[in-house]
Amino acid sequence: MAKILAFSGSARENSYNQKLVKIAALGASKVGAEVTVINLADYPLPLYNADLEKEQGLPENAKKLKQLMLEHDGLLIASPEYNSAFSALLKNTIDWMSRAESSDEKPLAAYQGKVAAIMAASPGALGGIRGLVFLRNKLFLKLIKHFIKRVF
């Protein structure tokens, strides 16, 4: 059974994107996936800073999120669109999860072999589509293009 990790790029209470993730997770469960829905509000992280990482290593919440990623086969992500891009919270989370905890860890270990579905919800006229283009291009194709098998 496919294991899916689902989260949104919003920590806002009553976030539309977190609601969308829950609906998508329900759909995935109905067709047989085992879905874990998390809220990034429960995994607060400092803004990525290489000096901080050098001094303190990965924050505990980054380690927890990476572990969750490793335990799942695929991702369901919904992100708000802020000024035509996906959210800073999501970018920061992606950045921390891309970091290795030790020198013998493979690059981008948490992303290897993952399948991802990306979504957006917005009260704006375009429904967040511009942010998704950016997310797909900048995240999945540029950052981890060698490690993602398929992107839906």
Ligand X SMILES: Cc1cc2nc3c(=O)[nH]c(=O)nc-3n(C[C@H](O)[C@H](O)[C@H](O)COP(=O)(O)O)c2cc1C
Closest residue (Cβ) to ligand X? 124
DSSP SS3 for 58: coil
- For residue 7, the tally of other CB atoms under 10 A from its CB is 26
Burial of residue 55 (CB within 10 Å: 0-12, 13-18, 19+) is: exposed
Kindly tell me which residue out of 4, 77, 80, 91 binds ligand X, with binding defined by CB under 6 A.
Answer: 80
- Contact stretch for ligand X (CB under 6 A) within 10-18, 26-34, 39-47, 107-115: 10-18
Judged by beta carbon, residue 61 or residue 122, the one nearer ligand X is: 122
Strand, coil or helix: 139: helix
Structure tokens, 95? 């950045």
- Out of 4, 15, 58, 148, the only residue in the binding site for ligand X (CB under 6 A) is 15
Task: Return the closest-CA partner of residue 69 out of 104, 30, 99, 32.
Answer: 99
| Shortest spacing between CB 19 and ligand X, in angstroms | 8
To ligand X, the closest distance from the beta carbon of 77 in angstroms equals 12
Beta strands in 79-150 (DSSP E): 81-82, 85-86, 115-119
Min CB(76)–ligand X separation in Å: 14
Binding-site string for ligand X from residue 40 to residue 59, where x marks contact by CB under 6 A and - marks none:
--------------------
d(C-alpha 119, C-alpha 109), whole Å: 23
Q: Which positions lie near ligand X, rule CB under 6 A?
A: 8, 10, 12, 15-17, 80-84, 122-124, 126, 128
